[in-house]
Structures are given as structure tokens and as C-alpha cells.
Amino acid sequence: MRKKYLNVTKALTVAITGALVVGSGIGFTKNQYEITHAENQPNNESSELCDVEDSLSGKLLVNSERLTEVYEQYKDVPQVYGAEKEALDKKVDDVLYSDMSYEDMKEALEKLGVYYVYGEDVEYSGSSSGDIKFDGTPQIAYNSKSKEYLVSAKASLPSDAIDDEKPFWKLFCPCDGDVANIGGVDAIFLSITNTSGASAGLQVNSGSASLSYGSAIKSSTNLITDNDNYGAGYEVQDCIAYYNVKNRIIYFTYDYKYNAEKITCVARYNSMFRNYNGEIKLGYSHTWNNTEVSSVGLSRSGPSVNFSKASNKWTAYSYSTYFTSGKKTTKKK
């Protein structure tokens, strides 16, 4: 399948400092990124076709042997099943989808028996691509009670980024709280590439993706991707919620909140994930007007996103988390 990507011209400066610390018996990687990023944006009005891959060069490297270390550390914790596991997953999702700081999220997850395989104890700006901003790199955690590895990532596409895409005409004046779609469905996916190590028995047990800013909440737990060893993808509709609507008889004015201001994706892998190596990044495929995502394919060499039309769309990626066996985490004193 052909790959279509966001056209980006960028000037990127990344400064990384790292130090290895230990918390809760697990190794943590501390990274700080200082990023300046300038680029040309796709022209929404002219709907120009873009075919340039956007692959940001920053990276977070972690020794994947820590996946086994955390598994061994908590292997004697009793495993939960059925309704008890469903209730636990819901509590964990509430934390992962929240607006907590990293430290607060880490503390809340540990109370539930979930531990980051590594952490980012220093806040940093993450990466940007066009108007979308990625909240760091995907994080890996281990649920000691369900014996699953959780891969999660966040991003944000601000409301003002879609000013040229919002509805300009409506037969009747909307009411406060009404929702209007921005184009067709978008795709949110975690892509795992350049893999090695044993993958026998590896599978995605569950996961979800959500656009949930304001009242325009949309989410999905339905995987749209095959080859789930290489990640997990979901289709979710982006939309705006009207508020402060004023009816001027022949026209109306309004403010709005855009649900893609808060993008979250989660995948739950079974315990065989501890034998795996590769790199993980978050991908977001955005559409407007009459375009929509038609399919997402994942493979060892990378994702492939197809759209219903050749215009009014783009795909952007976060930096990658590299979990590579036998390599030391980059560290500077």
C-alpha cells in the first residue's frame, strides 16, 4: 500500500540530558528535550497533496531487559481475572486518560499495581509536527495484577489548528453543546517497527483510543489493524462542540471546543512482550472535508495509511521509544 504523509519542512534542535535513577526497584531513564521546531503547514484551503514522510529524529533508548526485570519482580503477585480485571482496567484507563502530571500518574498507577518500566521524571516538551504536539514518547508500563504490558501515548491538536476546517454553513442555528464532525474518521495508532527477539505467543489483549477534550468525546476499542505484533490502530471521529452560540437571524456566531485537543492511545500486550525488541511511536492521521481514513496497515518496516481521497489529509508521528536488548541507556553526567 502507498504511504501518504504530512509535508513538513523543519528546523529542529534537540538537546538531551539523561541520568539513570532507581525507583520502586525499577530502573528509570530521565530525559529532557529542548526543542525548537519551525515548519511549513499544509494548505487546507488549496487542499494540496502531500507525499513527504515526517519522521522526527529524537529518540529515547531503553534496555529492553528491563521488561523482564519488572516481570520477574512482580511475578508472585496474584493475577486477577474476569470482572475483577475489567474493573482494574477501567481504573487504570481513568489514570492513563487523565490530565495528571507524570509524577501524579506514576503514583496513582503504582497504587493499582502498575509500574513504569522506565520513566521520564523530568518534564520536557516532547515533539511537534505541524500543529500537532506529541506529549513525549510512548511509555511502557507493567500491570503486575493482570500480567500485561501497557503501551500508552498522548498528543494534542489545538482548536485553532482546524479553523479552516470547521463548518462554515448550517441549515439551522446550532445550540450550545451540539456537535459537528470535522471530515471523516481519523486514525490513532501505536506503531512498533524494527522488531527482533521472540514474538511467539505475543498478542494485543485489548486497547483503546480517544479524542476527549471538552464535551465532544469520541473513543474506540475496536482494532482496525492486522499484524498486531506491530502495534494497535483505531478509527475515531474528530469533532467540535459548539458553545456561546448567538443567533443573528441571517447568520450565527459561536465558539467551539475541539475534541482532538486531547489525544490518547493505549494497547495492552500479554506477558510475552517482555521478549520483544523494537521501537514504538504514536501516529495520528487527520482528515477534513469529505476525506476519511479507509485503512491502516502495520508491519515491521512501518505503518501504511490509506485514505478515501488524495487530498484534505495528513499523517504525523511522535518521536520513538527504542526498547533494545543488550544496549545501555544513553547517559550523560
| Residue 257 neighbours by CB under 8 Å, 6+ apart | 159, 213, 214, 215, 216, 240, 241, 243
Amino acid 73 reads Q
Place of cell 553526567: 333
What pLDDT was estimated at residue 326?
55
What pLDDT was estimated at residue 254?
86
Strand partners, 12: 37
- Among 196, 325, 189, 202, which residue's Cα sits nearest to residue 273? 202
Record the cell numbers describing residue 309, joined without a space: 481521497
DSSP SS3 for 73: helix
Alpha-carbon separation of residue 138 from 190, 226, 256 (angstroms): 8, 20, 29
- Rounded CA-CA distance 93/90 in Å is 5
- Among 285, 267, 260, which residue's Cα sits nearest to residue 187? 285
Longest dimension (CA), the chain: 68
Alpha-carbon separation of residue 49 from 16, 58, 153 (angstroms): 34, 26, 28
- Rounded CA-CA distance 324/276 in Å is 8
For the stretch 147-159, pLDDT in tens is: 999 999 999 999 9
What is the 8-class DSSP label of residue 259?
Answer: G
Amino acid 61 reads L
For the stretch 321-331, pLDDT in tens is: 888 875 444 33
pTM: 0.79
Record the cell numbers describing residue 51, joined without a space: 507525499
What pLDDT was estimated at residue 50?
25
Write out the chain's pLDDT in tens, 333 residues. 333 333 332 332 223 223 222 223 222 222 222 222 222 223 333 323 222 233 334 566 777 888 999 999 999 999 999 999 999 999 999 999 999 988 899 999 999 999 998 754 433 445 677 789 998 889 999 999 999 999 999 999 999 999 999 877 777 888 998 999 999 999 999 999 999 998 999 999 999 999 998 667 899 999 999 888 999 999 999 999 999 999 888 888 889 999 999 999 999 999 999 999 999 999 999 999 999 999 999 999 999 999 999 999 999 999 888 888 754 443 332
